Amino acid sequence: MGALSNVYDPNEILWKGCPCGLHATMYEHQAALSGSGGGRFYAAETTERAARKPEAPAFDALSDLEQPAAKTDKLDWGDQEKVLANLATSAIMKGLFQTDINRRNFLRAVGGTTAAAAIASILPIEKAIANIVEATGPLEKTDLNVGFVPITCATPIIMAAPMGFYEKYGLNVSVIKTAGWAVSRDKSLSGEYDAAHMLTPMPLAITAGAGSAATPWTMPAVENINGQAITLATKHLDKQDPAKWKGFTFGVPFEYSMHNFLLRYYVAEAGLDPDQDIQIRVVPPPEMVANLSAGNLDGYLSPDPFNQRAVYDGVGFIYKLTKEIWPGHPCCAFAASQKFIDETPNTFLALFKSILDATAFSSAAENRSEISAAISPKNYLNQPTTVVEQVLTGRFADGLGNVRNDPDRIDFDPFPYHSFAVWILTQMKRWGYIEGDVDYTGLAEQVYLATDAQAVMADMGLTAPSETYASYEIMGKTFDPMAPEAYVDSFAIKR
């Protein structure tokens, strides 16, 4: 309660532990009091709290001090700046009074207003507050390299450069185009990239040491939700049913990708074993369209713009958008090493904020056309603007002669739910990418920085969900993040 309490209220208990300072814990304190028969403090306290009425403290005198904590009795977590300020004041008072009982006696004796004025006169509380709220301090470095793979999922990371979101937070970021995810991972591991666009399963795989040396990695934010599709070659117009896909060869962009897991999930639900009945090949996204037209692939589940590009070039049609498999599924991520966060926390925070800001901007439908124009040139996606625009605005040709309108074909939502990570881990377990006992929630909470995202988003005035775990319904099957092992076992087709 400390963070939200009014520190100038003599009835509040602010600090953990014994309020009189004589006992090690609250428990001992209460036991000692009840043992002595009087129970003065404890009894007094309980009655006081029970009888407490919501009184508006008269703190008008302080308004010129801009004392955020003094203005309202109760704060809410959403107002991160005020909460921080309140914590700062609380810490200063702890230094002054040592125990709650001292503070409360002092406040009772002189009154909250006088106390606040008196303390402010001897200690520059506003200054101390300002320091903590702007805890960003100086940036450790401003020149950063951020890697991206040229697909529309990376929109916030990319467009933050031409549209000035990095600059806004004092950063000079070079966004570097990368040939594929394996290279992106290796360049991130080697420290050439300070942060990078990755696929949501990758930070988990890197941390768990699947596919590379185990290195603690973090995922502060999801980039996009939805925005992928299953594309089939034009010659398979008559096979718009997964049951007819036996013997097909499909492309996915990377093993540790939502594309791989969603495709496996989808065909398995149709009764096909993804390792036996179809072949899944890792193909770099740019090569997918060419392979599709050459007949090497029958279809692919890939990131855009390459689904739309297949339609644009007349070699394939969009069979299913992934949002029809799992509405709101995560896809790509903004990822950074734990080392980067530890060594340059202020720079990280600034980068994190610029990404969150850019993601919020990308999420607004009215900005999508402008963004399409900004990220289409050679320096970024290197695609015809029409293709990118069809992906981002959701008004697109599906290759079957229709123009579809699906505004949430792709959306941008940064919040890295822990339950996303748990789902991904269940699929990695299901298909044998990781073996043995998996600490689902432990790994999820280590890698996906949902709680930090909550705090930073609140600080920026963005709305963050209050829960970091959610349950999903994927093709009629419910996923409960609290029972991951049972979820894995519930599948008929697994390794």
Residue 286 CB, shortest distance to another protein, in Å, is: 4
Residue 188 CB, shortest distance to another protein, in Å, is: 11
Distances (CA, A) of 392 to 234, 314, 407, 417: 23, 20, 8, 23
- Strand ordering across the sheet containing 249-252: 279-282, 249-252, 299-303, 228-233, 316-321
Residue 285 CB, shortest distance to another protein, in Å, is: 8
DSSP codes joined into one string, 182-221: HHHHHHHHTTS-SEEEEETHHHHHHHHTSSS----EEEEE
Kindly state the tokens that stand for 345. Answer: 């926390």
Among 187, 236, 239, 494, binds another protein (CB under 8 A): 187
Distance of alpha carbon 88 from alpha carbon 73, whole angstroms:
16
Site for another protein in 363-422 (CB under 8 A): 377-380, 382-384, 386-387, 390, 396-397, 401, 403
Distance of alpha carbon 304 from alpha carbon 281, whole angstroms:
18
Nearest residue (CB) to another protein, 8 versus 312: 312
Spell out the residues 6+ positions from residue 204 whose beta carbon is closer than 8 angstroms to its own. Answer: 219, 256, 421, 424, 425, 428, 443, 444, 447
Per-residue binding string, another protein, 157-176, x by CB under 8 A, is: -----------------xxx
Residue 376 CB, shortest distance to another protein, in Å, is: 10
Residue 190 CB, shortest distance to another protein, in Å, is: 4
Nearest residue (CB) to another protein, 34 versus 382: 382
Among 65, 117, 132, 189, binds another protein (CB under 8 A): 189
Residue 147 CB, shortest distance to another protein, in Å, is: 9
Using CB under 8 A as the binding rule, whether residue 433 contacts another protein is answered as no
Residue 289 CB, shortest distance to another protein, in Å, is: 6
Determine the interface stretch with another protein among 47-55, 124-132, 187-195, 470-478 (rule: CB under 8 A): 187-195
Sort strands 279-282 and 249-252 into parallel, antiparallel or unpaired.
parallel
Per-residue binding string, another protein, 280-319, x by CB under 8 A, is: ------xx-xx--x---------------x-xxxxx----
Contact 468, 455 (CB under 8 A): no
Site for another protein in 59-88 (CB under 8 A): none
Distance of alpha carbon 33 from alpha carbon 25, whole angstroms:
12
Distance of alpha carbon 460 from alpha carbon 418, whole angstroms:
21
Kindly state the tokens that stand for 399. Answer: 């290759």
Contact 226, 411 (CB under 8 A): yes
DSSP codes joined into one string, 212-258: S----EEEEEE--EE-EEEEEEGGGTT--SGGG-TT-EEEES-SSSH
Distance of alpha carbon 91 from alpha carbon 69, whole angstroms:
13
Per-residue binding string, another protein, 137-156, x by CB under 8 A, is: -------------x------
Site for another protein in 192-251 (CB under 8 A): 192
Residue 352 CB, shortest distance to another protein, in Å, is: 22
Binding site for another protein (CB under 8 A): 150, 174-179, 183, 186-187, 189-192, 286-287, 289-290, 293, 309, 311-315, 377-380, 382-384, 386-387, 390, 396-397, 401, 403
